[in-house]
Amino acid sequence: MDDGTPASPGRGPASSSDDSGGPGSAGASGFVDRWQQTDALLALRAAVRAAGRVRPAVARRAGLGESELIALERLVDGPAGPAELARLLGVSTAAATGLGDRLEEHGHAERRPHPSDRRRVELHVTDAGREEVLGHLMPMFAVLAELDAGFSDDERAVVARYLDGARAAFERMVEPD
């Protein structure tokens, strides 16, 4: 029930003000000052922070650099060439080639000729490389599977809709200007 007292800072229902930080408003600071974050938004924020700490921890445990782990994660999805890895990592093709060399030296990846272009090579994750990544992630996967099993199909649909919307918001932040 709304008794006219302000909600605690940063929590409670969303503001009903039309001033959303757009043109002619108090700007982004004004929006943030008025934004009443719900428990769902606060939980998402905490989950994103925790997720941001996973990759560095896995890389450290696996004795890899973060770029090597990112490349290995990509290779688990399928083979990729140095140019594709360079784009993914925002580095030169020479740097991506060196990264591929390091993954090969560790036994995590192997180079194979491209199936339709003899001038190109692809990196493929090895069984050892796949096991390295998945082995470090399995404890988290087990907890997430147990969590997921505790929801009904309808609840999972709501969670999926929320997370899809959050992902879309994140992707808007990383789109080129």
Residue 146 placed within a domain: no
Within a domain: 33: no
Question: Which is nearest to 122 in space by CA: 79, 78, 160, 151?
Answer: 79
Lowest mean pLDDT among 8-12, 49-53, 109-113, 146-150: 8-12
In a domain, 99, yes or no: yes
Is residue 156 situated within a structural domain? no
Instruction: Quote the CA–CA distance of 77 and 79 in Å, as a whole number.
Output: 7
Look up the pTM and report it.
0.72
pLDDT at 19 over 80: no
Residue 58 within a domain: yes
CATH number assigned to the domain comprising residue 126? 1.10.10.10
Which residues, listed in sequence order, are joined to residue 122 by a DSSP beta bridge? Answer: 112
Six-digit token pair at 2?
């709304």
How does the average pLDDT of the chain come out, rounded? Answer: 86
Average the pLDDT over 105-133 and give the result.
92
Q: What is the DSSP letter of 15?
A: P
Domain that holds residue 128: 54-133
Is 15 among the domain residues?
Answer: no
